[in-house]
Amino acid sequence: MTKIPGRSPIRDVPVNMEKGRPGSLIHSDWQPNLNRGRFFVSAQGEFGDPQVIAVLLRRLDNMLGICVFLCAVFTHVLSQEAEEPISYTCTEGYEYDRVREQCRDIDECTLLEDACKGGMQCINHFGGYLCLPKSAVIYISKEGEQVPMPDPGQAVLPVQPSQPQVPRVSSGTQRVPQPSRTVRCAPGFTADDQNLCRDIDECATGRHTCGAEQICYNTRGSYTCQCPPGYQRNGEHCVDRDECVLTHYCMHRCVNTQGSYYCECNAGHKLASNNHSCVDVNECDVQSPCQHHCYNLIGSFLCQCEQGYELAQDAVSCQDIDECSFSSYMCQYQCINSPGSYSCECPDGYQLQGNRLCQDINECETGTHNCQDDEMCWNYYGGFRCYPRDPCEAPYTKTSENRCICRSQTECQGLPSSIVYKYMSIQSDRTVPADIFQIQATNIYANTHNTFRIKAGNEAGEFFLRRFSNVSAMLVLTKPLSGPREHVVDLEMITHHLTMNYRSSSLLRLTIIAGPYAF
């Protein structure tokens, strides 16, 4: 009885048989795919008659850490005479079944608690076991069949015999019949018509357990259940994933929706082509919303109106500014509003000076009066008056343009020796007190004393005469005079001759004309 060792480390190993019997050559082959990190293993034998196979291939894949154990049945049959007893010896990974009188495989995946480590799956195989990734696909070739180059992740293994029988013979050599080869695929795979293990698409066949809200994705040897984009798993259900809370790329505002989100921009901005960034909208270029002038700002715009207009409440329309309503001092007399502007007007007797002031027109100088030849034109604020060129009344006679004297001592007794006529114009409602007229003695005599008084025209107490010196006094306006009004005031100067005990007087008749306006 001979036991043939069955370990063949990646090389051709001749297996010596009983003397006089043809030998068997075990050929092992390992072709790593370095680009994809996967393996491809094949084991084939060349046999004499009777066939005796002894295969044990072990290889460690350094890249994936995959330990592959392949063992094959070895049955040694001795050629004896018919009357000689027959004995059997099994290779490693098999044990002899004395009841059935044959070698049977040892199920290491059941016996060894930790046969495979690192999350690998244990696949029992005749004479050994495989530690493969859970996504690996196993293809088992038939005897004599050329091994095809598998897809990445497939392994080519010798088939496990289906209960090989060792019949008894009365004489001669007992043969181990050549077992038929079948396919045993890993979980998640099924054999096709060509005896190839193909992945089962659980998603297409409905053999998955994904919920109605989930999407089934097929993988090699299995499947995964995932939630649709924008959702996340919460137990067995899919709930909306709030991208706005977790993470988003919106420049301004994020709006969450069921299964998605979108970005919004602040007023004055619009979404860029990436649907996340916001860019400024030039409202002035697109279609100017402003009635007059438009100025673009970052995120907004500004409207500006022409001079004389102001923005309405809508901030885009322009409405006229009523400058005349701002103040009564816009114009000296009257303010006339116009669209976008205003103008000032003056009353009759005045003309516009500049843009807002009114200046009296001197009709006496311009010749626009209607006085007669024997009349004197006197201009006042806002008009003119015509006075007689000879104002003297008997017993007075005219000595100069505006001076009258009384020459008869008999007729002039008790009367002023002279009367001087003066005219002046003041604005209506002039601010008081105001010095308006100064009286001055024309002749100065020695040893005289002069006094001044308002003889007539001050019945309402509107004037006051303040003496400056012995020869002059000032008429003071104490109450406003509202025009148009003509007011005559008689101012008298009394002269006392101290040495001669003589008294004389002279009169100044002042005509005050208050214009109709305060200018």
The mean pLDDT value of the chain amounts to: 77
CA distance 207 to 223: 10
Across 91-100, 207-216, 440-449, 480-489, which has the greatest mean pLDDT? 480-489
Instruction: Tell me what the mean pLDDT of segment 322-347 comes to.
Output: 94
Instruction: Tell me what the mean pLDDT of segment 74-93 comes to.
Output: 47
Q: What distance lies between CA 139 and its chain's CA centroid?
A: 60
The domain locations on the chain are 13-186, 323-360, 375-514
Q: How confident is the model at residue 238 (pLDDT cuts 50, 70, 90)?
A: very high
CA distance 3 to 5: 6
CA distance 466 to 476: 7
The pLDDT tens digits for 424-453 are: 999 999 999 999 999 998 877 788 899 999
143 vs 268 pLDDT, higher one: 268
- Kind and range of the H or E element at 286? helix 283-286
Instruction: Tell me what the mean pLDDT of segment 342-361 comes to.
Output: 96
Percent of all residues in the chain with a pLDDT value above 90, rounded to a whole number? 50
**Is residue 231 over pLDDT 50?**
yes
Length of the chain measured in residues: 519
Name 426's bridge partners.
514
- Kind and range of the H or E element at 514? strand 502-514
**Is residue 248 over pLDDT 70?**
yes
Q: Contact, 41 vs 72, CB < 8 A?
A: no
208 vs 33 pLDDT, higher one: 208
The pLDDT score that the predictor gives to residue 66 is 31
CA distance 220 to 205: 14
The pLDDT score that the predictor gives to residue 199 is 92
The DSSP call for residue 441 is -
The pLDDT score that the predictor gives to residue 273 is 94
For residue 172, give both structure tokens. Answer: 């001669």
Q: How confident is the model at residue 45 (pLDDT cuts 50, 70, 90)?
A: very low
The pLDDT score that the predictor gives to residue 117 is 80
CA distance 264 to 233: 27
| CA-closest candidate to residue 425, choices 415, 437, 413, 417 | 437
Instruction: Tell me what the mean pLDDT of segment 257-264 comes to.
Output: 94
Return the number of other C-beta atoms located less than 10 Å from residue 231's C-beta.
Answer: 19
Name 203's bridge partners.
none
**Is residue 14 over pLDDT 50?**
no
The pLDDT tens digits for 472-508 are: 999 999 999 999 999 999 999 999 988 777 888 999 9
For residue 98, give both structure tokens. Answer: 């004395």
Return the number of other C-beta atoms located less than 10 Å from residue 105's C-beta.
Answer: 19
Q: Contact, 6 vs 92, CB < 8 A?
A: yes
Pairing of strands 137-141, 128-132: unpaired
CA distance 244 to 289: 34
Instruction: Tell me what the mean pLDDT of segment 74-88 comes to.
Output: 37
3-state helix, strand, coil in the chain (%, to 5): 5, 40, 55
Q: How confident is the model at residue 138 (pLDDT cuts 50, 70, 90)?
A: low
Out of 2.10.25, 2.60.40, 3.40.190, 2.60.120, select the CATH number for domain 323-360: 2.10.25
Name 170's bridge partners.
none
Pairing of strands 334-338, 318-320: unpaired
Percent of all residues in the chain with a pLDDT value above 70, rounded to a whole number? 73
**Is residue 316 over pLDDT 90?**
yes
Instruction: Tell me what the mean pLDDT of segment 4-15 comes to.
Output: 33
The pLDDT score that the predictor gives to residue 286 is 77
Name 477's bridge partners.
434, 463
- List the single range of 94-98, 117-121, 435-439 with lowest mean pLDDT: 94-98
Q: Contact, 396 vs 404, CB < 8 A?
A: yes
CATH of the domain spanning 375-514: 2.60.40.60
The model carries a pTM of 0.48
| CA-closest candidate to residue 66, choices 113, 136, 141, 138 | 136
Q: Contact, 172 vs 149, CB < 8 A?
A: no
The pLDDT score that the predictor gives to residue 385 is 96
Residue 18, class by beta-carbon neighbours within 10 Å (0-12 exposed, 13-18 middle, 19+ buried)? middle
Label residues 332-359 b or e (16+ Cβ within 10 Å = b). Answer: bbebebeeeebebebeebbebeeebebe
Instruction: Tell me what the mean pLDDT of segment 398-421 comes to.
Output: 91
Residue 318 Rama label (left phi>0; alpha psi -120 to 50; beta): beta
Residue with tokens 């006085």: 371
